[in-house]
Amino acid sequence: MSQIAIPFSSWLVLGPALLCGAAALTAGLIVLLRPWLARYALARPSARGLHSVPTPQGGGIAVLVATALAAGIGAQCTALLPGDATRLGAVLAAAAVLAVLGLIDDIRPLPALPRLVVQLACMAVGVWMLPEGTRLFGIMPLGLERALLVLAGAWFINLTNFMDGMDWLTVAELVPISCGLAMFWATGLLPVVPGLLALGLLGGLAGYAPFNKPPARLFLGDVGSLPLGFLTAYGLFALGGSSAAGGGALAGAIILPLYYIADSGLTLVGRLRRREAVWTPHRSHFYQVAAQRDGVWSVLGRVGVTNAVLLWLGIVSVVSGFAALGVAALAMAVAVVAFLLLTLSGRGRDASAGP
């Protein structure tokens, strides 16, 4: 198993250094890139986004570069097991391919099928490069499990892309997930490669956040949302199959992104029932409906609080190591997310108003 627990005293130095370095590098690159992005990569108002004026996109380039450099430097300062350097390089290479795909799509939209094929291929690389011994469903044949993970990962890449339609929403979602994954690595519950990537991603998002604060001056673009969704899925799969985390690992890996999964999944089901073309832009996500009704900050506050609760429940599930406690935490997480979706849809408020 590719599992390394570095001394906590060393992590207290390495962790903040990588975090701050990635944040500073991201912010610096954004300042340098923004004039070019404003000229060549403008996101114009559309049926998907909630912004009303053309806004530069492509900030994901800076986030991904900072994530890769932070992870690479961290790997030089950390004891790696055989194969870890190859895993890190292959995962970053797949993320770079997705970034190029996203950059092309940002400038000139691509057909859905070629995008999906590339996403599946990159996710296959990510699944193949999971830490040695990673198993999420022990009773399932390994080949079938890996095939399902590729499909689930491609879906997560796309849901990250589709959900990135409101200022700060991706930050509010991926920061808690990255924080949780980095914490699990620091305590020896997550292998080093996904841990380093999570720490670098956390720093990159911190550097990007001020530019995406409502009203946003910059968006990630597909060049950012596709590889960031990929790296997050990779980390969650590694957590779910981590033997060091015990019986609560899989539940924790589901809990952390549960709001994203629920909002995008239920919206997808609703669009399929209405026989809509699910790959086309729209504003029917729960957060989009609520933002148009209540405003962006109202939605961000509710989503932020919910994700903080999910982070706590995920930590409880993983650290406990008990499957039963993980199931209980997952049930609580489902209830919390259901309440959030109820309020975002407006039904909870209508019900409380009485006849």
Domain contains 1: no
Write the single-letter amino acid at 246: G
If you search the block for the tokens 């405003």, which residue do you land on?
295
Express the helix, strand and coil content of the chain in percent, nearest 5 each.
75, 0, 25
Q: Residues, the chain, total?
A: 355
Domain contains 2: no
Residue 249 corresponds to which tokens in the numbers above? Answer: 């690992």
47: containing domain: 8-353
| This prediction's pTM | 0.92
Residue 33 corresponds to which tokens in the numbers above? Answer: 């890139």
Q: How far apart are CA 242 and CA 331, in angstroms?
A: 21
CA angle 241, 246, 252 (to 5 degrees): 65
Domain contains 3: no
pLDDT in tens, the chain (355 residues): 445 455 555 667 788 999 999 999 999 999 999 998 888 777 766 655 555 577 888 999 999 999 999 999 999 888 787 899 999 999 999 999 999 999 998 888 888 899 999 999 999 999 999 998 899 988 889 999 999 999 999 999 999 998 888 899 999 999 999 999 999 998 889 999 999 999 999 999 999 999 999 988 899 999 999 999 999 999 999 999 987 777 889 999 999 999 999 999 999 888 888 887 776 767 788 998 999 899 999 999 999 999 999 999 999 999 988 889 999 999 999 999 999 999 999 865 444 333 2
Domain contains 170: yes
Q: How many structural domains are present in the chain?
A: 1
Domain contains 218: yes
Domain contains 317: yes
Domain contains 304: yes
